[in-house]
């Protein structure tokens, strides 16, 4: 018993105060002293919060758990206060009891999350032993927004049930309460339907013998999965216990390439021109004129309504390629018959038909903001504003309840620095930038503000498939601690400064996230090179390591390094499973930009010519067709080039798409003859020259991926 008490006291240094609870509570009163949870402590709960009590039992090994409206000294009591808002709570810790009152189930659950943060971080391992000391305090708290969401894309990269549950747990720890579950897209169909079992059994997989073509990675294998209806019901129940509503999304009428590949009849009634795609039909839009399509939609919604308890089903509506409707004689006839003015109103017609089906089964529609551009959808539709704040303001101005999630702040698939993987279309988003987001800075009127229904972060998973989806590392690294900042933005009324928030991360929440098993991202070490010495430092308690790229060995950094070749030395910090990005001195980070001329066997778009990537910016060239075997791209330098490494990549800079599916790289040291240096891996190669380079070339040995073009980006030369 003495050893156990000592262990608890050692962990007391990590016990939270108001300054390091995430998200920061509204009212926190510290008191002197501690309540000790011992084997004699009972958990007493009001019958309305039975599931919350069962949840708490996973973390604290109570020997007694009782349903009652009365408590005795020494107990922990969970109860409902009917006079409060649903998610409002008060946590009181004094010498007699720990008491959590909530306005509803959600309030009690929120109070439990704050209580866990008041405990040693070991509590999140679910292996914490009694006794546990918790400091006296009184906290009265409530969220700013009732919708605090996270969207997880399982369509582009398959994520098994147990891992989905893990992210539900991580959401719950941070008081996020809506899981927007992106179940279908061009790359996959993840929900079992009894009426159409082939949608999942075939459409849940891509590559190999599947009619769904592979994208983004794993090009040589059949890969994927889907959720059975029983698994989905289990996910919904698991989330509900954790105060999280699961909002499913079936993306339509666009983003439906996978479904169109296995059920071709949903597509429009015309033969597409496939000359630029090597014969592949890459259409992805439902035909709005086919009555049979609405029968299929009803089959889908009827079954989904029996699985998901949310009043909303998200039905997509974004990025619809309306040229497919313009080419369809049936859709054009529909347009004329219904008096529709343009293709946006064809989408309105489609979404309105789907909305009527939703209503029939007691559900409401949610859509991406493009779906309201036709002007016909009722204001009962929930709108998700993703492109920009401007679109969120337009949606709220028109009276739609709007989820604010502009990509330049809330898309957690974006890069966190210019030298890491991630999307680049919206912004580079590190935790500091994200934490700076404040709705009050964007001029929402009082009327518009009333239509802000919530805030949501999202993770679209195109890049995940190429970054070890079999593990959690990449997804954890992209989500945390950025999702901690989202939690605070959505919850806290008067948000603390970045300095205070970052201090709470470093001093307390890093340890909690370690115990939660999160492989989160650390801030980047500062590296300097002067007087022949390399020095590195961090602003947290992580440990720095350095890597000599010539040997690949990672060694712990303890003091400045005597070094005459800083361009080969990279640094990274680690804190348990957490890590920073690789960095180095200016000499390591410096990229060369020699004058280069790019040519290709493939014709290029006049809007994205080959002169673009020769500028060494993020500008790309784009061909007018997919590649065929024997196609090539050549980079010829104006002067012979001395360098240690050249990285060449077909496809988008940030994404394995529009690339040479297979091929090889070659180098010329004399300007005439080429030497093959290796095979392309996911469209790219790294060349380490042995002499001055006159030119390099990449050559396709098969057709490219299922796209109608190849993207050519700049070289990366070191």
User: 147-516 adopts what CATH topology?
Assistant: TIM Barrel (3.20.20)
384: burial class by Cβ within 10 Å (0-12, 13-18, 19+)? Answer: buried
pLDDT score recorded for residue 18 = 59
CA distance 473 to 559: 29
Instruction: Tell me the CA distances in angstroms from 471 to 93, 465, 474, one per residue in order.
Output: 39, 11, 8
| E strand or H helix that includes residue 6 | helix 2-11
Q: Dump the DSSP string for 603-665.
A: -B-SSS-TTTGGGTSS--EEBSS---TT-EEEEEEEEEE--S-EEEEBS-TTSS-SS-SSEEE
User: Which long-range contacts link 668-672 to residues 24+ away (Cβ below 8 Å)?
Assistant: 668/693, 668/694, 668/695, 668/696, 668/697, 669/693, 669/694, 670/694, 671/636, 671/695
User: Which long-range contacts link 259-264 to residues 24+ away (Cβ below 8 Å)?
Assistant: 259/184, 259/189, 259/199, 259/203, 260/284, 260/285, 261/203, 261/211, 261/212, 261/213, 262/189, 262/198, 262/199, 262/202, 262/203, 262/211, 262/212, 263/196, 263/198, 263/199, 263/296
For the record, the structure tokens of 398 come out as 């028109």
pLDDT score recorded for residue 5 = 39
Answer for the pair 681, 659: CB distance below 8 angstroms, yes or no.
no
Give the mean model confidence (pLDDT) for residues 583-597. 97
End-to-end, the C-alpha distance of the chain in Å comes to 60
- Look at residues 381, 482, 377, 360 and name the one whose alpha carbon lies nearest to residue 427: 482
Answer for the pair 703, 623: CB distance below 8 angstroms, yes or no.
no
Q: What is the pLDDT of residues 595-653, one digit of tens each?
A: 999 999 999 999 999 999 999 998 999 999 999 999 999 999 999 999 999 999 999 98
Q: Where are the alpha helices (DSSP H) in 37-147?
A: 50-57, 105-117
CA distance 163 to 152: 11
**382-385 and 402-404: which strand pairing?**
parallel
Place of tokens 């070659």: 666
| Cα 264-220-631 angle, rounded to 5 deg | 90
pLDDT tier at 74 (50, 70, 90 boundaries)?
confident
Give the mean model confidence (pLDDT) for residues 351-375. 96
Distance of CA 315 to the CA centre of its chain: 19
Q: What is the pLDDT of residues 541-576, one digit of tens each?
A: 999 999 999 999 999 999 999 999 999 999 999 999
Helix, strand or coil, per DSSP, at residue 449: helix
pLDDT tier at 453 (50, 70, 90 boundaries)?
very high
Answer for the pair 59, 123: CB distance below 8 angstroms, yes or no.
yes
- Domain positions in the chain: 2-141, 147-516, 526-589, 596-717
Work out the percent of the chain whose per-residue pLDDT is above 90: 92
Answer for the pair 549, 568: CB distance below 8 angstroms, yes or no.
yes
CA distance 79 to 101: 5
Q: What is the mean pLDDT of the chain?
A: 95
Answer for the pair 676, 696: CB distance below 8 angstroms, yes or no.
no
> Which one has a higher pLDDT value, 67 or 114?
114
For the record, the structure tokens of 529 come out as 């090179």
Residues 6 or more apart in contact with residue 376 via CB below 8 angstroms: 345, 348, 349, 352
Task: Answer whether residue 429 shows pLDDT above 60.
Answer: yes
CATH (residue range 596-717):
2.60.120.260
pLDDT score recorded for residue 13 = 42
Largest Cα separation within the chain, whole Å, is 89
DSSP code at position 509:
I
Task: Answer whether residue 3 shows pLDDT above 70.
Answer: no
pLDDT score recorded for residue 11 = 39
Q: Is 35 left (phi over 0), alpha (psi -120 to 50) or beta?
A: beta
User: 2-141 adopts what CATH topology?
Assistant: Chitobiase; domain 2 (3.30.379)
200 half-sphere exposure, CB direction, 13 A CA radius? 17
CA distance 383 to 380: 9
Q: What is the CA radius of gyration of the chain?
A: 28
For the record, the structure tokens of 293 come out as 């399509």
Distance of CA 377 to the CA centre of its chain: 29
pLDDT score recorded for residue 506 = 96
- Look at residues 595, 571, 574 and name the one whose alpha carbon lies nearest to residue 585: 571
Task: Answer whether residue 177 shows pLDDT above 70.
Answer: yes
Q: What are phi and psi of 131, to 5 degrees?
A: -85, 155
Which architecture characterizes domain 526-589 according to CATH? Answer: Sandwich (2.60)
Task: Answer whether residue 16 shows pLDDT above 70.
Answer: no
The beta strand positions in 164-210, using DSSP E, are: 178-182, 184-185, 188-189, 205-206
pLDDT tier at 12 (50, 70, 90 boundaries)?
very low
pLDDT tier at 364 (50, 70, 90 boundaries)?
very high
Q: Centre a 10 Å sphere on the Cβ of residue 273 and count the other Cβ atoms it contains.
A: 9
Answer for the pair 692, 645: CB distance below 8 angstroms, yes or no.
no
Rounded to two decimals, what is the model's pTM?
Answer: 0.95
CA distance 212 to 273: 19
DSSP code at position 525:
P
Task: Answer whether residue 680 shows pLDDT above 90.
Answer: yes
CA distance 622 to 613: 10
Task: Answer whether residue 235 shows pLDDT above 60.
Answer: yes
Residues 6 or more apart in contact with residue 459 via CB below 8 angstroms: 150, 151, 152, 153, 411, 412, 413, 475, 478, 479
Q: What is the pLDDT of residues 502-549, one digit of tens each?
A: 999 999 999 999 999 999 999 999 999 999 999 999 999 999 999 999
């Amino acid at each position: 018993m003495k050893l156990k008490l000592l262990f608890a006291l050692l962990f007391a240094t990590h016990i939270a105060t108001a300054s390091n609870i995430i998200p920061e509570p509204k009212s926190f009163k510290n008191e002197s002293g501690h309540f000790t949870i011992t084997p004699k402590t009972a958990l007493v709960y009001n019958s309305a919060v039975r599931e919350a009590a069962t949840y708490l039992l996973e973390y604290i090994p109570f020997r007694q758990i009782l349903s009652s409206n009365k408590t005795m000294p020494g107990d922990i009591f969970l109860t409902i206060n009917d006079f409060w808002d649903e998610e409002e709570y008060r946590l009181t810790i004094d010498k007699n009891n720990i008491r959590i009152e909530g306005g509803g189930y959600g309030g009690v659950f929120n109070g439990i999350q704050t209580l866990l943060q008041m405990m040693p971080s070991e509590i999140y391992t679910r292996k914490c032993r009694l006794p546990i000391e918790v400091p006296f305090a009184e906290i009265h708290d409530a969220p700013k927004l009732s919708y605090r969401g996270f969207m997880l894309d399982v369509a582009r990269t398959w994520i098994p049930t147990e891992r989905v549950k893990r992210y539900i747990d991580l959401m719950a720890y941070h008081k996020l309460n809506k899981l927007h579950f992106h179940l279908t897209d061009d790359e996959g169909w993840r929900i079992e339907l009894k009426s159409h079992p082939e949608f999942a059994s075939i459409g849940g997989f891509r590559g190999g013998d599947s009619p769904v073509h592979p994208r983004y990675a794993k090009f040589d294998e059949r890969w994927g999965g889907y959720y059975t209806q029983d698994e989905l019901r289990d996910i919904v129940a698991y989330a509900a216990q954790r105060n999280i509503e699961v909002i499913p999304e079936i993306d339509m009428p666009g983003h439906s390439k996978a479904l169109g590949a296995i059920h071709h009849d949903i597509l429009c009634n015309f033969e597409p021109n496939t000359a630029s795609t090597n014969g592949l039909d890459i259409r992805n839009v439902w035909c709005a004129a086919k009555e049979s399509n609405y029968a299929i939609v009803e089959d889908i919604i009827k079954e989904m309504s029996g699985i998901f308890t949310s009043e909303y089903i998200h039905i997509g509506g974004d990025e619809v390629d309306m040229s497919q409707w313009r080419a369809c004689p049936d859709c054009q006839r529909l347009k004329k018959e219904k008096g529709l003015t343009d293709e946006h109103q064809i989408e309105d017609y489609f979404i309105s038909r789907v909305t009527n089906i939703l209503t029939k089964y007691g559900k409401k529609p949610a859509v991406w903001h493009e779906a309201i551009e036709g002007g016909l959808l009722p204001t009962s539709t929930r709108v998700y504003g993703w492109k920009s704040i401007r679109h969120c303001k337009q949606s709220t101005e028109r009276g739609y309840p709007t989820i604010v999630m502009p990509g330049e702040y809330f898309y957690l698939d974006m890069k966190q620095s210019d030298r890491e993987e991630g999307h680049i279309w919206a912004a580079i988003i590190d935790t500091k930038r994200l934490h700076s987001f404040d709705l009050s800075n964007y001029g929402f009127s009082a009327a518009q503000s009333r239509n802000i229904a919530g805030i949501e972060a999202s993770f679209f998973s195109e890049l995940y498939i190429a970054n070890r989806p079999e593990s959690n590392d990449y997804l954890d690294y992209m989500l945390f601690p950025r999702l901690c900042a989202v939690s605070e933005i959505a919850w806290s009324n008067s948000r603390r400064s970045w300095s205070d928030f970052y201090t709470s991360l470093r001093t307390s929440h890093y340890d909690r996230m370690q115990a939660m098993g999160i492989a989160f991202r650390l801030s980047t070490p500062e590296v300097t090179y002067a007087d022949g010495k390399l020095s590195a430092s961090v602003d947290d308690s992580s440990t720095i390591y350095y890597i000599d790229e010539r040997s690949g060995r990672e060694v712990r950094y303890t003091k400045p390094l005597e070094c005459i070749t800083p361009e080969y030395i990279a640094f990274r910090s680690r804190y348990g499973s957490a890590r920073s990005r690789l960095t180095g001195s200016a000499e390591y980070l410096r990229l060369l930009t020699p004058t280069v001329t790019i040519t290709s066997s493939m014709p290029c778009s006049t809007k994205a010519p080959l002169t673009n990537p020769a500028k060494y910016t993020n500008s790309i060239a784009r061909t007018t067709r997919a590649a065929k075997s024997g196609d090539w791209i050549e980079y010829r330098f104006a002067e012979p080039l001395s360098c240690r490494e050249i990285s060449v990549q077909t496809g988008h800079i940030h994404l394995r798409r529009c690339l040479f599916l297979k091929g090889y790289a070659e180098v010329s040291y004399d300007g005439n003859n080429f030497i093959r240096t290796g095979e392309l891996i996911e469209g790219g190669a790294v060349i380490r020259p042995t002499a001055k380079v006159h030119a390099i070339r990449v050559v396709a040995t098969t057709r490219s991926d299922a796209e109608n073009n190849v993207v050519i980006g700049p070289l990366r030369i070191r």
